[in-house]
Structure formats: C-alpha cells, structure tokens
Structure 1
Amino acid sequence: MIGTVFLLCLFVLTNGQFFAGKNKFCCENTSDSRLWLSTTLETRQTLQAENPADLQRAVPVSQGSSWWTDFPVLPLVFANSNTIPKGRCRKQVQRYLKELANSTLWAVQMFDASTKYPDGVLHGQTIHLGSFDQCYNLRAELPPDEFSDIGEPDEVEGRYCLVRLRYQRKDVEPKRPKTFTLDFDPNLSVWNAIDYTGDFRRVKRHSVYLSLCVPASCSSQDVTTALTEPLKELANARQIQLDVTVKPSLCQARTDVPEDFTVGAKVFLFIVAGLFVLVVASSWYDSSVYSSEEAVKDNEPRDLFLSFSAQRNLRSIYANESSHPGLDCINLIRFFFTACAMFGHRSMQYYGYPLVESTYLEKAYTVPFSMMVFNGTIIIDGFFSIGGLLAAYGALRDLDRSKRLNFTALILNRFLRLTPLYMLVVLFNATLMPMMGSGPYWEARVGFERDNCAKNWWANLLYVNNYVRPEEMCMFQSWYLSVDYHLYIMGLLVLWAYWKLPRRLGYPFLCSLIALGIAIPFFITYVQDQQPVFILLPTLPEVRKDPYFLGQYIKSHTRIGSYMVGVLAGAIIYDHKDATWRLPKAWSRFLFILLAVGFTIVSESLAAKYFDPNSELHPLETAAYAGFHRAAFALGICSIVVLITIGDGLDFHRNFMTPRWVPPLARLAYGAYLVHNIKQIYDIGATRNPRVFSLNDWLSNFLADMFYTFGISLLLSVVVEWPIRKMEQVVRTKQ
C-alpha cells in the first residue's frame, strides 16, 4: 500500500500536476482498478527512462491557487530538478528516483526521512527536523544499472540537510504597524501574522527550515542549485519572492566525520591519562608512605608531588572555615550567580532552535517578572564587583604588610591559577568533543566551537579573545575571564595609587573611576544610538553574531564601573577591619533593603521598556540607563558584604548568607563556569525533536545541568585546579 501511494505521487509529479499546485491524488474513476494498475506501470516505465529528471515541466497555474495549500514537497522537487550539476550526485539522484518508483527500501527511507510539509508555522514552529538518524545512518550497496559507471556496483549514503526557505509577497513591503501585537485578527490576511515588521519578540515565520535527505555525494551547493530554479518558478506563479539557502554546516553526512582519533584528541587523552596517574600515585603515596616524620623535613619536590593528592585536595574543597563576617557571604553570592549564569545560558537554547510553540516564548516578553530572566545578563556585573572587592581587600593587605606590590608575581600567579584548567577545556572542545555525537545542529554548534577553538586558542591563552576575533571566540562565555583579567591588572594599579594617597583623597579617586566607568557606556550608547542592554532575540541562534554582544557587552572598558564599585567596597571593608564603630541597627536594615534589595531589583526590572517594541525611547534616557544600571546592580551586591561587615542588627542576614553547604560549591564555581556550556552545546547539537518552551522543561534541564556540571567540576578541581593551586603555594612559600 505504501509503495502504491508513492508511485501515485510520482505519477502526479511527472504529469506536471505538482507544479500546477495539485498536492493530492485525483482521478475520475478511482474505483477502476485497471486505471490504477496502468498508471503504476506507465509511471515505472517513464521513471526508467535515460534521463527522468528532464521530464519535469511547468504547467500554467490557475489564479485561485494558494501558496499555503500548494506548498512544495521538497524531496520530490529535488529529485525531479533539471538543475542538479552533472556528476555522481546527479546519477545517484536519478537512481534514487527510479528506486523510489520501485518502492526500494533505501530510496523510500531517504524520502521518508525528509520533511514533506511544514506544520504549526503560524505558531512559530519554523524548524522541521524530519528523521535525522534515518537519513544519517542510511547506507546501501547498489547493484550495477544504467546509471552506474562501466557497470560497477555503487554505494549510496544519506546526507541530512536543513533547507531554509525565506518567502514574502512580491512588490509588497511590510509596513511597521502603529502598535505591535502578538494577537492578530483571524478574519484578516494570514500575511499579517507572517510578515516581519520589526517586532523582535516574534519568531520570523517567513523563514522556514525543512529537512531534506539526499545522497551523500551531493554537496550543500548541489542541493541549493537543484532547488532554487524549480522553487522560484513555483513561487513566481503565486506572486511570492522565495530565497533558498543550504548552509554547509547544516548539511552533513557520516562520511564527513573522521573515523579515527585525531592527533589533537590523542594529545588530550594523553594529558588526561597523565594527570590521573599523577593523582593516583600521589594519593597512594600520601596515604601509604608519607609519614609525620617526613612532614617536618623540607623537601620541595615531594611537596609538589603531594599537591596532586586527592585526599588533600578534597579536604581543601570541603573545608568550612569562617574568616570574615562579610567576606564569608561571598560564597553564597558566587554560587548563586554561577547557577544563574547556567540557567541563563540554558535558556538561550530556546532562541533560534526548534520549538513546538514559539508563542509561549514570545508572550513571556509581556510578563513583567520575565525581566529577571531576559535581563539576567546583569548578574555578570555582580561577578565583576565581587572580583574587585576581593582584589582590593587582598592587595591592600599585602601593601600594609610589605609596603609594596609585586605586580609581576601577582599577575603571573593569577595566570597560573586560571589557565591550566581553562586550556584543558579549550583543548577538549577543539579535539574530543566533536567526536562524541551527531545531530541536525551538531556541525553548526559543536563544529563551530571546534573550529573556533582550533583557530583562536591562543587568543584565549593570552586573555585577549574579547578584542581579537570575538566573532570567532572559543567558548562564548570565556569573554568574562578576559575582562576579569584585564580589570584585575587595572585594579592593582588603582589600588597602589589609592594606598599611596591619603584617605580623604583616596575615596574621591575611586569614585572618579566609577564615574568614568559609567560615562563610557553612556557616551557609546548616546553617540552611536545603540541599545542599552543585551536583548536575547528569538531569532538569535548564536550570540557571537550579535552586534551588541561583540561591540559592547564583552568589552573590558564597558565594565570598569562595576569593577570599581567592588574596589571601593573592598577598600571600605579593609579600612574598617580595626574600627570599633558600627552602623546603627535601623540604618543597617534600611540600607540593606534599599541597596541590596531595591537597587538590584530596580536596576534589572527597569529594562522592561527596552524589551517592548511599542516603547518610545529617548536617546538621553537610554544612554543613562546604559551607563548606570550595571554600576547600580554592582552597588546593590557589594552592599550586602559591606553592611554585614560594618552594620549592626544583621545577624539573621549573615546566618542566611553563610550556610555550611555553600563554601565547597563556591570553590567549584570556576570549574562549573568553564564546563557547564559543554553539556548545553551537546544537547543543542544532538537534538532530534522540537522542544516546548515551558517552565517545567526549563527547570528540568537546569537541574540536570547543575548535577552534571558540579560533578565534573569536582573531578576537574581534584585533578587539575587544586593541584595547581597547591603547587603555586609551595613555590611561593619557598621564595
């Protein structure tokens, strides 16, 4: 029965009915079995002709035909195209068409794996994935026939492609409405819901991705060439302008993937194996050979070897020592912000990738509370402010002790603490990660990450990747490490100058730098008429292609204000360490609510108008928000630490901010930040089906991210991060 259906479909196609818009079977005497049989035989004989692709012909289209009811069946358009370039691809397509008429399994499997007709487009389901594995794993040995070279057997494999069809009415320019809406009058034209008129909240319904399974001998360019002319002929008959695009990264076959481990993958595995051998050997020596008598002896090589002891590193990770009433609160802030970053990056998977109901995502923009998520990128400024606070406290302590700062040693120590684990993750992304899976978006995401890391790892190593080739940045979240490193170096210079100045001049000096940090984004936003915040769009599959992300968001000079707020807070806390004065209870609680709660929530929620396309934006107001909101959020976060340090009556707040389970997780935050995106990229690349934008799925994915990420971070901390820290401590104490 299935074979008969396919044969009838091909009969309609070869008789010109496809291009006449008749995507259904019709004949006058459907009850006459002889007519069905004769049709089948005639179609089979026709398809076995020398060049069946030349049989395609266009038929005049009636004026009543509709683009929506006559949407092309993509695999049939491709198989019958006259414009397939000559060569092996064309011969295999001709063989495919013949075997499809014969109901041969491999041909039907190729046809079955392709998308026939899009559904749910009006609700934003614009990506239709078909059956990836059915196509990707297709492989068949073909006996010789008239399409084979000199009678030799042939082999066919599947190539899975996502074809983008972008369509709009001819000679009709969509007009911007007076008021953007997410609801449309059902009695008006469907083009009101299809046309893109500037509402960035909406998925672009005039751009549809359809899966197409073709022989692996056909390239993405062959597919584009084969589809462009017949599809445009169909579209022109209906006054539609149609563009066909097939990106090489979205057109992949199993034959494209190397079967053996690459040299880079072998190097990565060798490094990892060597580290595990060191950890096992050091742990065995620490537990079985090392004694208390040896502990009193000065032996630097032995101490360096013991830095890899798993027992010692686990004790350091799980240690729970109180050092400072205010600084202890930073552990919870660091863990919470790391979790928020993971949650935010997980939410980015819903932008530009297959969704069943994009309307849920679009309407989320209209919910006021959604700014806690959509403008959640502001939490990064909390990270920077905490980094500046800790840098200030540590640098001022060292200056008071030694009366000088060893800039070279401090910068080098920071480099050695951050870089080994960082480069190991970069190497993993460039070598082993691409070999761990497959999927419709595998090459577009994992392959994209592989290529960027292979080409630009040196920019990550030198911490300049936020300025050098940022559009090809390896690990998109790594920009934070470069900005933090730049600001740390700047902070050391600022703190040395602050320490030299009398306090009556030192505090105004720091405040002037905060003002400079506010003025820079203010000036850029006002002069260049740019958006003030990073707006995650439903049409943004890759942040490294967003102009605001590349031009402002990842630049060190736009984050000076947040970092200097932290430096000022660190200076206040350090200068207060010997003071007996305390802020009164009433003022402490009032300022905590005003700054820690009010400033953080207000600075984040005020962005709502910039996520509303109906808002009237004034350049000066927009620039003011761009300049002040990050520093205001940083002030709110740092006020927690400062008020708990100098305030009175905040015992409950301190106890809440210093639970015993947080310090170990906070120590794993750096590793978690580095590796959390690996699982998320894997999920995107390997996705086979559209997902639903729902809070339940969102939270389920997030909890899985937390479990996997912190588990892997614990392993990497024991094997790489903490051994490096211990070795650095051993070397520093010997100096």
Structure 2
Amino acid sequence: MLTLGVCFALLSAVSAENENITLGAKDLVRLYRTAHTLGVSESILSKISEKLTSEKSDFAYGDSDGTVRIDAVDESPDYASSVVLASDLLSLSSAVANVKAEACKEQGYRFLDGLIKNQRWALKMFDASAKSPQGLLFGSSYHLGNFDECVGVDVVDNGTTSRGQYCLATIKWRHGDEVKKVRTGRGETLRWAVCVPSACDAQSVEGFVSDVLALSVGNKTRVVVSERDCYTRRPIDINRLDIAFLSLIMFFGMILLFTTVYEIYSIKWGQNKGTAHEILISFSIINNVKKIISTKQNNTLGLECIAGIKAIAMIFILAGHACTFIASGPVMDSEAWDRLIRNPANSFMLSNTLLVDSFLFLSAFLFSRLLLIELDKRRGRLNVLPILIVRYIRVTPAYFVVILFYMTWLPKIGVGPLWEDRMRLEQERCLASWWANILYVNNYVNTDYLCMFQSWYLAVDTQLFFLAPIFIYSLWHWRRFGLVLTACMTLVSLAIPSIITYRGRLDPTLLIYAKELTDFATNPYFRDVYMKTHNKITSYIMGILTGFILHKIQKQNYEFSKLLKVFGWTTSVILGTITTFSISVFYQDWYKYNAIEAAAYVSLHGFSWSITNAWLIIACATGNGGILGRLLTYKIFVPIARLTFCAYLVNGIVELYYLGQLRHPVHITFFTVLANGTSHVLLTFLLGMILCVMFESPLHGIEKTILRLISRPVLSDNAIKNGSSDVISRNTSQSKLDS
C-alpha cells in the first residue's frame, strides 16, 4: 500500500515532467483513505483537501469533469520534487501536528504546503536540513546540513513572511554504563541540523525533532535543543557596553592616528626631544611597529637564547590549541584523531603542557635573575611593592581589552552552525566572571564560568609572582636558609599533585582526547586539577633556583669543566626525550591504569623538564650552548618573542572563530591538522600584533617614561647596555607568557 507521502512524492515528481496530469475521483478517495489508515491528523487532511479542490490554489485546479489536474510549478527546478522523500514528508506532517506553539505550528503547515506545491523557499528549508545520516558507523557525529541555505530563506507570501531558522539539535543515544567509559571516539551524541520556521522556539524544535525520530527509530533517543542552538537572521542587538567598547577602540584608534601623524611630522622637522614627545610617540604606529620588529637585544647577561625558547614554545602552544579545537570540532572520522595520538611520533604535540610549564619556568627565572641583580646593587634595600604594582599595570590593560571583546562584540562578528552555541556561552561566562580574571583568581573562583580557556595561566603566574620575592630574598640574604626553604618547597610541590592524583585515581596529566575537550571549562581534570596553582609550583620554584644558580656562576665567573658539560648535556637530552615521548604510553590501547604510576608521572615529568630547561639556559648563558644555543639566538625569534603575550591573549578568538563558522566536518589527517594549525598560528600572531600595537606596547612605553621621571626603574637598566630597558623589561614576568 502506498503511503500518503509516497502519493504526494509521485504526484510531485510526475508533475515535473508533464504539465497536465489528471487524478480521478477514485484515486483521490484511495489517497484520502490511506491517510486515515496511517493516522494523519484531520487538520492536515483538511488542508490537503483544500489545496486539492480550491480554485484559487496554485497547486491544483478543478476541471468540469470532476477530476483534479496537478500543474507543474514554474519556480521549482525539475529535480526538486525528488528531494521530498515520502517517509520524510509523512514524519514531518505528524511532527508538525504535535507542535504546541500555535505560531510555530501555523508556519509549519505553511512549510508543508510549500513542499507539496514545490515552492522553492520550502524546498530550500527542507534541503538545508540534515537527511539520513552518512558515515554514522564511520564516526561522523556532526550532520550540519546547509547553514547558509537555511538562514537565507526570507519570503513574503500572501502577506505572511517566512524566514528560515537553523537549529542544531543534540541527539543522545542511550547506552550502557560500560560504553560510557570509553574515552576515544566522539561519544554517544549526534548533532543534527534542522531548518525550521523562525517562529519556532527551542522547545518546539526539540519536540518536533523528537517526534520525527520517534517515527523512524523509536523512543530510544533524547533530543536537546537550547536557544543557543538556533539561529535566524535578525538585526544586531547592541547595548551600552557594546557602545562603550566600540568607543574605547575608536578613541585609541584616533590617538594612534594622531600620534602617528605627529611622529611623521617630528621626523621630518627634527622635533624629537622632551618627555611630552616620548609620551606622544609611545602611541605611534610607526614607533611601536619598529620596536616590535627590531631584532636588537643589547643584553649583557647572555640571555639572548630566552627569545628563541619563548618564540618556539609559544608557536607549539598555539599549534597545540589549534589541534585540540580541530579534533574536538566537527570531523568526518572520529577515530582519525585517536589514531594520531596513539602514534609516538606525535608525542611532542601531546606534551604541550610541558611548554606551558616552560613559560612558568622562564617567568620565575627572569624575575629571580633580575631581582638578584637589583638586590646586589641596592644592598638588599628594595621595596617589592612597586614591582608588584608595575607588573599588574603592565599585564592587565591588554588583557582586560580582550575580556571586554568577549563580553561585547565576539558573538556579533560572524555566524555559523556552532556559532551561537559557542560564542554566546563564552560571552555569558565572561559577563559572569570578568572580575575574577582581572583579580587573577579565576583558576579558583567561578571556575564553572571560566572566561577565556587559556586565562588560567595568567592567574597562576600572577599568584606565584606575588610569592616569588619571599624565596628570592631568602636566597640572597640567608643563603643556607634560602636553599633549605627552596628545597623544602620543591619537595612539597612534588608531593601535592602526586597525593591528589593517587587519592583521586586521576590521569597523570591532561590527556588530549577529543571527546573530553569539546569545552575546556567542562572538563573535570582541566577545571579541578590542571589549572590550579598548587599543582604548578614545581616549574616556578625550579625557575627561581636556576636564576640564583646562574647569578652565582656569572658573578664568580665560574668555568665549566669538559666533564661537567658532557654530563649536563647528556642528562638534559635524556630527561628531555623521556619526558616528551613517555606520554604516548598513556594513549595506547594496551595500557592499564596504575595509580602509583600516574602519581609518580604527574610530578616527575614536570620536575625532569625543569632540569632540562635549567641546563639549557645555564649552558647558553655561559657560552656552552653549542649548535642549539646558536639556533636559539637567531634574530628572527626576537620579534616573535615580543608578541607572545598578546598572541596568547587573542588565540582563543582565532580558535573559537574557526569552530563557530565551520560549515562542514573536517577530514582529519596529519597534513590537514598541520595545514590548519599553521594558519591558526599565523593568524594568531597577526591579531596579536594588532593588540600589541594598540594597547600593550603604548602603555609599556608610557610606563617606562613615567618610571624614569619618578625614580630609577626597579628592574631596570643595570642589566643592559646603551640605556635601553625595553628588552629586559619584556623578559621579566610582566609581559608574559608572557603568557
């Protein structure tokens, strides 16, 4: 027996080939009887009957002999009728009839009428929705339909406007507890795109999709649709905060333009003296770009390799973020990422957390090294409070500008299938916890509303920065006591994460499973363990100790013996290799979890990596760096190192934009990940340079000028030649991770 949908599909298909086809009264009776048998609602039947008999209908016209003639619809292409599958039309009809919201139901009926009449706008809405899943058994869990086709529907028919609304429903399959423990793959959810009338709210769409699935797969699924999952074109909603942020940007833009013109004038006419001149050109685009791209360091401490370490580490950190977002977003093959992470050759990217530890190490090392110089110079009489205040002033303005962007214009700069869900969520989190970010306590406070997934580092670095003077001063003033205190703190820092890991039977480190990192803020390990300061102390303490050791070596002009250099490099290479590649073990199918192993690894791998970093810096600073030391001092790394802080701040924008605007799932291979990751890194540094030129570099220039007027800088020119404090000040923990 033909279903009602089959009948309409056949009628529609034949009409595309023959402009005049008649339907006898007996056939119409059979069609009507079939509809009753299938339980199609009376309201739908009455509308169909009206369309088939009304003289005003564009679809059917009555003839004098009592037959019904179906006319082809000129606006529909010939192939469009074949799109309307019979089972889909039947399930859609029943689902629309069950919608409770009257406005949504009425537009749903108009949509069905449009399908029956082969109207292009209705066919576009149907065509834009995801159909029968392809590659479901292959692991394809994102069926995104056609976003732009859906939201592009905007027609007026008989005085009624029909607009398309794109909704991405989450379909949750019911599985046993054993299946839920699997960490690989993409989970037990399916993202399904539907194009519905704009009058339908999320609850109506949720019920609609549930009813459609109930007819096809039964009631074994649960459908979730939130307001953030739906998008329709509408005017941009601008509030006072949006206007305030835009005004701030325009204000700084005007200052940059004015000061740039002033600098051009001063260069031409030679008027380049005085404090007012220095403050004005601090905002000039020409001046700031020249500072950023300059390859001069003028460093007498032998720390030129720091720029290379920072630049390379930041490049791989950003690449790691890109890989995580690519892998956790829409992909065609859910197993592809799992195959990549099982390959030991890719362990360096999986050890991305070690590179973050490297920045904590460098921050502590530079602060320790420069503060010890100042203590020697001032014989221990040093007021630490200005150091802490200056550090806060240096880091916070650019950071706060990015937070404001998250709170205001981030959701308004694009559209896409995942845009509303991800961008609105980020905006809500930043509106709820921006104050925790600028107080640098967001890794402990309001962690459920983490604003900027990467911002945890700034909180950790700031908190440890405020504690660092205690250990640095102890090492300088009470050498033995300071060493004992630092050693005890190192042991405590090793014990804390080990105990937490053993008692909670936790992972040995943050494991990059795509299924678990679709949203960093909801990952329990990341939120409750990874970003906590008490689990990150080891690298910082080792950095302070390394700064003290190098200070003594350079102060006493200590020469390394050949045996010591061989031992140092051998130990460093072995520890670096083991810590980098050992993480691959935890991704293998054959690995069985052991709490003791995890507890030992979580502490020792960071400690070993710190030893590797310590020797590398000491060797390079004392002229024993060899080929690696020469590589790290290449001038190309200097400008990149200056941009690390701002690049780190804006990286979340690049990654979220990529994910939000993605129209189709990505096929993951090593090449596609490498290509996408490279583009993300380049875009991040480009955006970071804009932020640096507009905010970070100008404020840094003003700060130097003011400090020089008030008093000698706390961490100043003592370590550099030619009176230039730019390089050293950028290498203190201020400019950070400079991030």
Cα deviations across residues 393-443 of structure 1 (Å, max 9, x unaligned)?
121112222223322211111111111111111112222222111000001
- Tell me the residue number matched to 1:360: 336
Out of 671, 675, 678, the position equivalent to 2:646 is 671
5+ residue gaps, structure 1: 1-7, 16-24, 26-32, 57-70, 144-152, 176-195
Q: Does 1:407 align with 2:379?
A: no
Q: Does 1:216 align with 2:210?
A: no
Q: Does 1:467 align with 2:444?
A: yes
Q: Does 1:158 align with 2:141?
A: no
- Tell me the residue number matched to 2:44: 52
- Tell me the residue number matched to 1:96: 111
Range 240-249 or range 555-564, more displaced: 240-249
**Aligned partners of 1:249 and 1:443 also within 8 Å:** yes
**Aligned partners of 2:7 and 2:31 also within 8 Å:** no
Out of 473, 489, 511, the position equivalent to 2:487 is 511
Out of 93, 99, 102, the position equivalent to 1:84 is 99
- Tell me the residue number matched to 1:117: 132
Q: Secondary structure at the match of 1:122?
A: coil
TM-score, normalising length from structure 2?
A: 0.82
Cα deviations across residues 121-178 of structure 1 (Å, max 9, x unaligned)?
11111111001111112112121xxxxxxxxx32221111122223347xxx475xxx
Q: Distance in 2 between matches of 1:37 and 1:592?
A: 94
AA paired with 1:245?
V
**Aligned partners of 2:350 and 2:583 also within 8 Å:** no
Out of 659, 672, 675, the position equivalent to 1:684 is 659
Q: Distance in 1 between matches of 2:87 and 2:643?
A: 52
Question: What pairs up with 1:270-419 in 2 under 5 angstroms?
Answer: 270-289=247-266, 299=275, 301-317=276-292, 318-324=294-300, 326-402=302-378, 403-419=380-396
Q: Distance in 2 between matches of 1:73 and 1:486?
A: 61
Q: Does 1:231 align with 2:246?
A: no
- Tell me the residue number matched to 1:729: 704
Q: Secondary structure at the match of 2:164?
A: strand
Q: Distance in 1 between matches of 2:408 and 2:634?
A: 40
Q: Does 1:246 align with 2:221?
A: no
Q: Distance in 2 between matches of 1:248 and 1:477?
A: 26
**Aligned partners of 1:396 and 1:495 also within 8 Å:** yes
Cα deviations across residues 194-228 of structure 1 (Å, max 9, x unaligned)?
xx363312223x43222111111111111222333
Q: Does 1:441 align with 2:418?
A: yes
Q: Distance in 2 between matches of 1:627 and 1:714?
A: 36
Out of 129, 150, 164, the position equivalent to 1:135 is 150
AA paired with 1:532?
P
Q: Distance in 2 between matches of 1:468 and 1:233?
A: 46
Aligned length: 656
5+ residue gaps, structure 2: 14-20, 49-84, 711-739
Structure-2 change in CA distance of 1:99 and 1:719 (3 Å): closer
AA paired with 2:339?
K
Out of 629, 637, 642, the position equivalent to 2:605 is 629
RMSD value over aligned CA atoms? 3.1
What is the deviation of 1:674? 1.0
Out of 201, 204, 214, the position equivalent to 2:184 is 201
What is the deviation of 1:9? 7.8
AA paired with 2:157?
L
Q: Distance in 2 between matches of 1:75 and 1:137?
A: 22
Q: Does 1:425 align with 2:419?
A: no
Q: Secondary structure at the match of 1:244?
A: strand
Q: Distance in 1 between matches of 2:341 and 2:87?
A: 35
Q: Secondary structure at the match of 1:254?
A: coil
Structure-2 change in CA distance of 1:370 and 1:654 (3 Å): closer
- Tell me the residue number matched to 2:582: 606
What is the deviation of 1:447? 1.7
Q: Distance in 1 between matches of 2:471 and 2:541?
A: 9
What is the deviation of 1:635? 2.1
Cα deviations across residues 1-52 of structure 1 (Å, max 9, x unaligned)?
xxxxxxx98524999xxxxxxxxx9xxxxxxx87899868976997998611
Structure-2 change in CA distance of 1:616 and 1:702 (3 Å): closer
Cα deviations across residues 246-297 of structure 1 (Å, max 9, x unaligned)?
2332222223xx4354433332222222222222322333342479997665
Out of 669, 672, 675, the position equivalent to 1:697 is 672
What is the deviation of 1:233? 5.9
AA paired with 1:481?
L
Q: Secondary structure at the match of 1:576?
A: helix
Q: Secondary structure at the match of 1:160?
A: strand
Q: Distance in 1 between matches of 2:271 and 2:193?
A: 67
**Aligned partners of 1:53 and 1:79 also within 8 Å:** no
**Aligned partners of 2:184 and 2:335 also within 8 Å:** no
What is the deviation of 1:345? 0.8
**Aligned partners of 2:171 and 2:190 also within 8 Å:** yes
Q: Distance in 2 between matches of 1:578 and 1:727?
A: 33
**Aligned partners of 2:167 and 2:229 also within 8 Å:** yes
Q: Secondary structure at the match of 2:556?
A: coil
**Aligned partners of 1:354 and 1:690 also within 8 Å:** yes
AA paired with 2:704?
Q
Out of 627, 633, 652, the position equivalent to 1:652 is 627
AA paired with 2:297?
E
- Tell me the residue number matched to 1:147: none
Q: Distance in 2 between matches of 1:602 and 1:684?
A: 34
Range 331-340 or range 450-459, more displaced: 450-459
- Tell me the residue number matched to 1:11: 5
AA paired with 2:500?
I
Q: Distance in 2 between matches of 1:101 and 1:722?
A: 63
Q: Distance in 1 between matches of 2:488 and 2:86?
A: 64
What is the deviation of 1:636? 1.3
Q: Distance in 2 between matches of 1:555 and 1:161?
A: 37
**Aligned partners of 2:471 and 2:485 also within 8 Å:** no
Identity of aligned residues (%): 26
Structure-2 change in CA distance of 1:290 and 1:349 (3 Å): closer
Q: Distance in 2 between matches of 1:113 and 1:616?
A: 45
AA paired with 2:44?
P
Range 371-380 or range 382-391, more displaced: 371-380
AA paired with 1:306?
I
